[in-house]
Amino acid sequence: MLFISPIFLYLSLNKDILEKKSFWTVLGFRSEGLLQAFVMPLFLTMILHLGPLALLVHNGLLKLYTEPMYWVNNVKDLIWLRSQIVAPISEEFSFRSCMLPVLLQCFSPIKAVFICPIFFGAAHFHHLLEKLKNNVPVKFAVIESCVQFIYTTIFGVYSAYLFYRTGHFISIFIAHSFCNHMGVPDFEEFMRYKGTEKYVIGSLFVIGLVSWCFLLNPLTEPKWYYND
């Protein structure tokens, strides 16, 4: 699909657009605003994960990132490469770079941003087969897959909005890779904390979410990324 998707985009794209912008620009590959597109969406996504990052600091796992062997071992791990590199590239390219421009020709931006992730979320139902092969009971496999559909669809809305606002592929790739690395927040670990620790970390979860809501539009302002 990584190689087929651009063909559908090219055939579906209004030719007037290609007279104004190159096909690479439509896909989100351009140099203007590249640094901002890497740094600012990553910072915004880290703000959203302020609570989970606080958990990593508290349990000491954040120190692992300073160990060279941690990165050496990960680069040799095909599962890590799939989650951090291959999946973000292939999924964001197909479901955002190639799909969103087509939808934006048919729907208003807000509708396109919410329709696009439905396909992205549905594509994750293939994990249901993986769970069934691993002898997970059908009921639990279906529930887990539905939860994953909801979670990935919500992320897809965020990613589609980032791409619509920044017009850069790098912004959605880095956000996707970071979210894959962080995974779903470990609320089970959070609930094990007591007293002040629990209140402080819990407050950071809330502060992160509220700050992200306030910063979402200012940090994705199209003019930062030369996205006209």
**Catalytic site residue from 58, 124, 127, 144:** 124
Q: What are phi and psi of 143, to 5 degrees?
A: -65, -45
Give the chain as a 3 state SS string. CCCCHHHHHHHHCCHHHHHHCCHHHHHCCCCCCHHHHHHHHHHHHHHHCHHHHHHHHHHCHHHHHHCHHHHHHHHCCHHHHHHHHHHHHHHHHHHHHCCHHHHCCCCCHHHHHHHHHHHHHHHHHHHHHHHHHCCCCHHHHHHHHHHHHHHHHHHHHHHHHHHHHHCCHHHHHHHHHHHHHHCCCCHHHHHHCCHHHHHHHHHHHHHHHHHHHHHHHHHCCHHHHCCC
**Catalytic site residue from 91, 92, 168, 176:** 91
The rounded Cα 60 to chain-centroid distance in angstroms is 25
Q: Rounded CA gap, 196 and 193, in Å?
A: 9
Instruction: Confirm whether 188 is a catalytic residue.
Output: no
Instruction: Confirm whether 91 is a catalytic residue.
Output: yes
Catalytic positions, please? Answer: 91, 124
